[in-house]
A and B are shown apart, each in its own frame.
Chain A
């Protein structure tokens, strides 16, 4: 069970990427999911619930992959960057919907 790479710093950075990165990425998935599905005509709360259901499965996967991956830095970039990008697109979609005023 012991490994030469297993320093406290190593564990802390893995855990941080898995939890915080996973959270940021999932936030993006949920926000984008709601915005996209609502734009596509789905009922608002349906879009919300479906995004949550998908979101938690994504979080679980992201958490596991963050520990399994060999390249932690790249993973952190994908999770945080991807989450931010998806949130930004959700924002943009929202502003489009509000602007149409329907």
Chain B
């Protein structure tokens, strides 16, 4: 684009980095929180604060629950346009029953898929979900939102904009731009190794922001590249639905060949058949894993073609002992319990793919590695945030002289996504502790209210950010940063205190009992409060500094 290649790369880095950096900030932050999504669920739903449980008895507990599960109003509304005419009042033919848990989940997620008799596409299924206490089989109230796994986690990969998958596309494009920013960043800075050891906190704000941007970008470069890349690979089927559009015939042919090879029926036989003891099949699967020397907890249990002569039961292992997503699935004929198939060892390509996706999705049991993920993610946030700061610092005095508002708008957006996002997150957790147990009639469900308050407080933080960045237009530091840091400090202390008041689980008791899901969440917030206070004090000093000191000449080798 420019005569000079490095010049072009710098332009790309600056402008696409700025536009998508705002999205990437959200993706990186909620990705970091998602590492501990199940633990955040425990904090938000105090009724589920007990130890993770093994898969309960299928025959005694789960079968009766599955039999009474029916799709809720939301699922019906989503499926209605896919059918000719109105949906039946009751769905009678279950296509599959599934039960899923992890080594960090005390609760068990159940899902039942039903055939839709009048569907336009015969493959359409309608789903019913339920979360149960595996000790008693009791259902969790439907108005409880699992804030970690059902809100922060989806924010990470789809921004929760589900309409036409728009959120997935925005995040996907941002991930591609993250890769672009890493490559162009390396091209811009030839002295990569030196960046690792360069941080000059006492130079001008602009200089130290750039040092920090380079440092956090370079230190975690492989981490950033890997996560952006594997994130794309995980959702590749959405971004490039080749095998469900252009190559559908090939895909369908493969499915038929596969079902012939594996002996697992592709379709129902149309002949009703009873279900033999699933517990016995689970025991047999565990015996087979043990014989191979593998940890034998069941992660995922699935019945396909329920109640049909072609029905089969698949038992998958929870892959807690390795990075790859593994299953070592063992399949039984549902009506007799006869072994149909044991999944063969994965091929080389499958191994690579399982490693790539497994490293991103981290089902393993390794707490140190989990914390390294959080640190890697937060260093990504720091890298993006300092990139935004640098953009503003570099331009604000020039913009002030020219009387244009570019730097101010960017600064307001930066405040909104950096500190405003933290304010919104904490407000949601506080709302979670303050809202009544059951919302009064006429109000949205409790979980929905929490989401509204999240978006509402983010909007307020955005408005405050725009209002209190006016001084950037005069070339000065915006007070919005300091004020929102103080807000974060107050909110991040309020949430743990409210947790104590409403549940009795204060830090001394949770740490004393070694109950880390809740203790960890509280400690994480309190640490955040301390950092926010330190940041606010530092910002106050900078605000007080005379303007002339900041006008330090800079090396001109940066974009």
Which residue of chain A has its CB nearest to the CB of B234?
A52
Interface size (B, Cβ < 8 Å)?
Answer: 38
Contact A64 B12 (CB under 8 A): yes
Q: What's the Cα separation between A1 and B559 when bound, in Å?
A: 7
Question: In the complex, what's the smallest C-beta–C-beta distance from A62 to chain B, in angstroms?
Answer: 11
In the bound complex, CA of A46 to CA of B232 (Å): 16
Contact of A52 with B5 at beta-carbon distance under 8 Å, contacts A46-B349, A91-B246, A94-B249 already known: no
Q: Which residues of A contact B184 (CB under 8 A)?
A: 64
**Is there an interface contact between A46 and B253, defined as CB atoms closer than 8 Å?**
no
Query: Does A44 lie within 8 Å of B179, measured CB to CB?
Result: no
CB < 8 Å: which of A10, A55, A60, A63 contacts B240?
Answer: A55
Within 8 A of A (CB), among B247-263: 247, 249-251, 253-254, 258
- State how many angstroms separate the Cβ of A66 from the closest Cβ of chain B: 9
> In the complex, what's the smallest C-beta–C-beta distance from B150 to chain A, in angstroms?
27
The reply to whether B250 and A97 contact each other, CB–CB distance below 8 Å, is yes
B350/A45 in contact, CB under 8 A: yes
Q: When the two chains form their complex, are residues B1 and A68 in contact, meaning their CB atoms are under 8 A apart?
A: yes
Please name all residues of chain B whose beta carbon is closer than 8 Å to the beta carbon of A14 when the two chains form the complex.
1
B242 at the binding interface (Cβ < 8 Å): yes
Which of A35, A42, A44, A68 is close to B8, meaning CB atoms less than 8 Å apart?
A68
The smallest beta-carbon distance between A80 and chain B, in angstroms, is: 16
Write the nearest CB–CB distance from B231 to chain A, whole angstroms.
Answer: 10
Q: Would B250 and A53 count as touching, CB distance under 8 A? A: no
Given A56-B232, A97-B253, verify A46-B347 contact (CB < 8 Å).
yes
CB-based contact A43/B253 at 8 Å: no
Which secondary structure characterizes the binding site on chain B? helix
Task: Name B1-35 residues within 8 Å CB distance of A.
Answer: 1-2, 5, 7-12, 14
Chain B's closest residue to A42 (CB) is B349
Interface centre among B258, B349, B356, by most chain A C-beta atoms within 10 angstroms, is B349
Q: Is residue B183 within 8 Å, beta carbon to beta carbon, of the partner chain?
A: yes
Within 8 A of B (CB), among A1-60: 1, 3, 5-6, 10, 14, 19, 26-27, 30-31, 34-35, 38, 42-53, 55-56, 59-60
Tell whether, in the assembled complex, residue A49 and residue B12 are in contact, meaning their CB atoms are under 8 Å apart: no
Per a CB cutoff under 8 Å, which of A34, A59, A60 touches B243? A34
Contacts of A43 in B (CB 8 A): 347, 349-350
Contact of A94 among B14, B250, B349 (CB under 8 A): B250
Q: Compute how far the CA of A45 lies from the CA of B173 in the bound complex, rounded to whole angstroms.
A: 24
Min CB distance A68 to B, Å, is 5
Contact of B233 with A by CB under 8 A: yes
Given contacts A30-B242, A44-B254, 4 further A-B contacts (CB under 8 A): A30-B240, A44-B251, A45-B350, A53-B233
What is B's interface to A at a CB cutoff of 8 Å? 1-2, 5, 7-12, 14, 173, 176, 179-180, 183-184, 229, 232-233, 236, 240, 242-243, 246-247, 249-251, 253-254, 258, 347, 349-350, 352-353, 356, 559
CB-defined A-B contacts under 8 Å, sample of 14: A1-B11, A27-B242, A30-B240, A38-B254, A43-B350, A45-B350, A46-B353, A50-B349, A53-B352, A56-B176, A60-B183, A64-B12, A67-B12, A90-B246
